[in-house]
Chains A and B, each alone.
Chain A
Amino acid sequence: MLKIENLHATVEGKEILRGINLEINEGEVHAIMGPNGSGKSTLSAVLAGNPAYTVTEGKVTFNGKDLLAMSPEDRANEGLFLSFQYPVEIPGVSMTNFMKAALNGKRKYQGLEPLSASEFLKLQREKKKFVEINNDLTNRSVNEGFSGGEKKKNEIFQMAMLEPTLRILDETDSGLDIDALRIVATGVTKLKNEKNATIVITHYQRLLDYIVPDFVHILYHGRIVMTDTKDLVQKLEKDGYDWIKEQFPD
Chain B
Amino acid sequence: MQINDYIEALPTHRDENYLYTDARDAMEPVEDVVNASIDATGIGGSVVGKVLNVADCGAVESAIAQELVNLNTVVISDVLGIEFNEENPTPVEVMLSSEGGKSVLAQSRVDIVATENSKSQMIVRTNGLKSAANCVMSIDVKANATLDVVFVQTEKNDAPVFVSTTANVAEGAKLSISTININPGFVRNNVQVNLEGEHSHLALNGVYEADGGHVDNTTLVNHLVPNCTSEELYKGVLNGDAKGAFAGRIVVAPDAQKTSAQQTNRNMLLSTDAHAYAKPQLEIYADDVKCSHGATSGQIDQTQLFYMQQRGIDKQTAMRLLTSAFALEVVNKIPVESVRNEIASLANIE
Contacts and interface: CB of A to CB of B under 8 A. Distances in A.
Contact of A51 (B306, B313, B324): B306
Contacts of A52: 302
A97 B350 CA distance: 9
A42 interface: no
Contact of A84 (B307, B314, B322, B324): B307
A3 B321 CA distance: 34
Given A92-B324, A92-B326, A93-B325, A72 B317 contact: no
B309 A76 contact: yes
A93 B308 CA distance: 11
A102 B325 contact: no
A73 interface: yes
Given A72-B306, A90-B304, A100-B349, A162 B312 contact: yes
Interface in B313-342: 313-315, 317-318, 321-322, 324-326, 328-329
A88 interface: yes
A240 interface: no
Interface string A13-53: 00000000000000000000000000000000000111110
B2 interface: no
B310 interface: yes
Contacts of A71: 309, 314-315
A148 interface: no
Contacts of A81: 310
A82 interface: yes
Given A84-B307, A98-B308, A106-B312, A92 B325 contact: yes
Interface residues of B, number: 25
Which of B307, B311, B312, B348 has most chain A Cβ within 10 Å? B312
Interface in A50-66: 50-52
Given A90-B325, A91-B325, A100-B349, A72 B309 contact: yes
B17 to A, nearest CB: 33
A97 B321 contact: yes
Contact of B307 (A75, A87, A114, A141): A87
Contacts of B272: none
A82 B349 contact: no
A221 to B, nearest CB: 26
Contacts of B311: 76, 98, 101-102, 105, 158, 162
Contacts of A103: 312
Contacts of A73: 309-310, 312-315, 318
Contacts of B322: 90, 93
B313 to A, nearest CB: 5
Contacts of B349: 97, 100-101, 104
B254 to A, nearest CB: 40
Contacts of A162: 311-312
B348 to A, nearest CB: 8
18 contacts: A48-B310, A50-B306, A71-B309, A71-B314, A73-B315, A88-B307, A92-B328, A97-B349, A98-B311, A101-B308, A101-B317, A101-B321, A101-B349, A102-B308, A103-B312, A105-B312, A105-B314, A162-B311
